[in-house]
Structure 1
Amino acid sequence: MGRAILICFVVSLSLWIPNNGHHKYIHAEHNTWSSFTEQYRHLYHDEKYELANRMLNNRQKEMEQYISTLSNQHQEMFNKLIDPIISVQSQEQKVEVEKFLSFINAMGSDHPQKYARQELQTLRNQINQIDQIDQDRASFVNNWKALLPTLQLYFDQKELSVVTQSVAVFGNSEMLATQQDVVRRLDKLLEDETPVINYDAFIWTAVIIGCTILITLIYVGARKYVAEKKEKKTHDKLNS
């Protein structure tokens, strides 16, 4: 019985491992929706909103089906990001579109958390190349805003809030010190490789393990009861 429980525990535990963030060290190449996001972005920036909306409608059901397999936090973020670009199609929504496309790109990758870290590293490299030009700063700020909802799924909220404040100051200042402050905070964020635990996955894993152990105990108990009953019947026949 002990071996059976151990095997069930190990198998159930394997269901938990892929969700706890350790996969972030695996390089992610494949992205299911990258071609969609590129085409959608071009259409939207060219103000071809009707075509962009048609593309989104064609893939929306597929996206929703995949997102429904993820945690409640992922599902809430998907709904939060898609609602503004469905309800309003206009020039002012470009930042909202970029937020949604960043999220979809991450979810379409083999390893979303790894993808989010790579995009964060790209931002870190971008700020090093910025001269004190308003357009460059504005572009960086918008890129940070676009990536932030995805980062919120995998990084500590307080740390992200601190970086956001620093980015806002940098966007409104030409001082070199504000740029250096953003760099320092981004470096700190990238250095922190503590995985964010998916508590939904943890709960489901605990339920699976508990049910597996319970079923195993019931099965072993039933087998023991049947064996004892047969043994008693045989014993009674011998004594009769």
Structure 2
Amino acid sequence: MVIRILLFVLALVLAPISTVLAQSSPDLKKLDEISDEALQMVKVKRYDESEKLLEYFSTQFLSMTVEAKFFSMDELRIITVAHNEALVTVQDETISYEKKVNAVTKLRLVTDAVYSNHQPLWTEMEGQIMSTFNQTKIAMKNKDSDGFHSYINRLLNQYDLIYPSLKVDLAPEKIQKLDARMSFIDQYRPQVFSDTTSQKELDALEKDLESIFDEMTEDETDPSLWWVIISTGSIIILTLSYVGWRKYKGDKEEKKSDKELNH
């Protein structure tokens, strides 16, 4: 009887989780795949096909927001902005190939950030970004002003690519801190290039981004799985404790009855 109750309780705990995953994952995965296909089309300069895929993305995205609350308000706004930028950029014949690729890449990364529970695609840019930091420092050491400005521009472009995804995965205060450091470095380039004190802002930005990348990649376990494990374990422990207490009480009552009969 107790085992039946335990199984019933476990079913109640797991059913809502499995239902949510069954309903949301396929739809979010579909958006993720559409954004990836749109990016692949842009990379091979098939802009018309990429445009159609982006329009299809919009249709699917809107239907998801109507049917169920798949997204938070922030996610809704971030994805909408990234999508609009990607679509307008792809449609504009005067915009360069590189900017088209970057615009659709931003949408691809932010869609994946919403879809992925851990290790989103944007974390794979860690190597590129850290390499840019290293090259920037080498340019400063060699007093190479042109190289320094070139690498700062590259760093800003790389940050811009992952920025919408950061807003999905990071707390607002962390974003504000990164924005402040990035704005300082961009606005006061001459000081950063020549002044040791100002260069500390560049070092601080590098450490902040390293910390964020480490934080996003250190735990490979799906958080929802941990929730299930903890919840299920707690129920099992409570149930076994209850069974043990009932058994102890039953044995005690039995011994008491035997003792009274012997008297």
Superposition pairs of residues 1-240 of structure 1, within 5 angstroms:
2-3=5-6, 4-14=8-18, 32=33, 33-34=35-36, 36-41=38-43, 43=45, 52-62=47-57, 64-65=59-60, 68=64, 70-72=70-72, 73-87=74-88, 89=92, 90-91=94-95, 98-105=102-109, 107=111, 111=116, 113-114=118-119, 115-120=121-126, 122-130=128-136, 131-132=139-140, 133=147, 134-172=149-187, 173=189, 174-175=193-194, 176-193=199-216
Number of equivalenced pairs: 177
Residue of structure 1 in register with 2:232 after alignment = none
Question: After superposition, what is the alpha-carbon deviation per residue over 1:2-29, rounded to whole angstroms, capped at 9, x for unaligned?
Answer: 43233221333456789xxxxxxxxxxx
Quote the Cα distance in structure 2 between the aligned partners of 1:42 and 1:168. Answer: 34
Q: What are the ranges of 5 or more consecutive residues in structure 2 without an aligned counterpart?
A: 23-31, 141-146, 225-263
Q: Distance in 1 between matches of 2:85 and 2:182?
A: 24
Q: Secondary structure at the match of 2:169?
A: coil
Structure 2 distance, partners of 1:77, 1:113, is 19
What is the rounded CA distance, in whole Å, between the counterparts of 1:10 and 1:55 in structure 2?
40
The 8 Å contact of residues 95 and 146 in structure 1, kept in 2 or not, is answered as no
* Range with greater deviation from structure 2 (143-152 or 4-13): 4-13
> Considering only CA atoms, is the larger Rg found in Structure 1 or Structure 2?
2
Residue range with higher mean Cα deviation, 33-42 or 184-193: 33-42
Calculate the aligned-residue CA RMSD, in Å: 3.9
Moved over 4 A (4+): 14-18, 92-97
Post-superposition offset of 1:188: 2.9
| Structure 1 residues 53 and 161: CA distance shift in structure 2, 3 A | farther
Q: CA deviation at 1:153?
A: 0.6
Q: Decide whether the 8 Å contact of 1:106 with 1:113 is kept in 2.
A: no
The residue identity in structure 2 corresponding to 1:148 is Y
Larger helix fraction of residues? 2
Structure 1 alignment gaps of length 5 or more: 19-30, 44-50, 196-200, 202-240
